[in-house]
Structure 1
Amino acid sequence: MSQWIDACATDDIDEEDLIRFDHGTQTFAIYHSPEGDFFATAGKCTHEDVHLCDGLVMGHLIECPKHNGQFDYRTGEAKRAPVCVNLKTFPVKVEGGRVFIDLG
């Protein structure tokens, strides 16, 4: 069952960047790809529970600010040690200049 949540405006995130979005007890990272698409993942690194919002976005990778592990934010795939557990990803849609993520 879908549960679409209004997370932010498309203008809130520069290309090749991300923002933090908190909803209830959960935290997320929302990304704006170089191609203009939007993606959402769990907001904390799977290695040491550090929030990814302070990390560096390079192309389609997010680099954790603590130990420089990397994930492909489109798929959540762990790409560089020390991370070895993938990030959870969430479906995203854009409507009326707003980014929605599906928490269902």
Structure 2
Amino acid sequence: MSERWLDVCAAEDISDDTPLAAAVEGKEIALYRVDGAVYATDNLCTHGSARLCDGFLEGHEIECPLHQGRFDVRNGRALCAPLTADIQAYPARTEGERVFVRFDIQT
């Protein structure tokens, strides 16, 4: 398996309180800024197929707008009912004025 860092968006596009949706090679992810750090996860809730970018971000937790389940944006872990499955989290970094997200690919 190899890793690939992809340029996703301008760093200024991600605000401290509002998640941002981005499409990367046909995959929709959500980006979050918490205490200056950028995090990335899949954008679709595992419970109700709601877009997490439409949810409420509080600290490191994103709340699904459909049934109020919460995920940790640092690792994708489901934190409460009705969630039973985690979401995929992706390493993210800021270089200059751009945000890059790492995707592992099968080789």
Task: Give the TM-score range, shorter chain.
Answer: over 0.9
Instruction: Give matches, 1:72-83, under 5 Å.
Output: 72-83=72-83
Q: Give 4+ residue runs of structure 1 displaced > 6 Å after superposition.
A: none
Query: Partner of 1:3 in structure 2?
Result: 4
Structure 2, unpaired ranges of 5+: none
1:24 counterpart = 2:21: no
CA distance in structure 2 between the partners assigned to 1:97 and 1:17 by the alignment:
18
TM-score by length of 2: 0.91
Alpha-carbon distance, 1:46 to partner: 0.7
Q: Deviations over 1:4-48 (max 9, x none)?
A: 111111111111331001123211001100x10000001100112
Residue of structure 1 equivalent to 2:101 = 101
Q: 3-state SS of the aligned residue for 2:36?
A: coil
Count of residue pairs the alignment pairs up: 103
1:36 partner amino acid: G
Q: Which runs of 5+ in 1 are unaligned?
A: none
Q: Matched residue of 1:75: which SS? A: coil
RMSD: 1.0
Q: Which amino acid aligns with 1:89?
A: A
- 1:53 maps to amino acid: C
| Rounded Cα–Cα distance in structure 1 between residues aligned with 2:13 and 2:20 | 8
Q: Percent identity?
A: 38
The 3-state SS of whatever aligns with 2:19 is strand
One-letter identity of the residue aligned with 1:86: D
Matches within 5 A, 1:2-81: 2-33=3-34, 35-81=35-81
Structure-2 separation of matches of 1:25 and 1:10 = 21
1:14 and 1:71 map into 2 onto residues whose CA distance is 19
Q: Tell whether the 8 Å contact from 2:18 to 2:53 is kept in structure 1 after alignment.
A: no
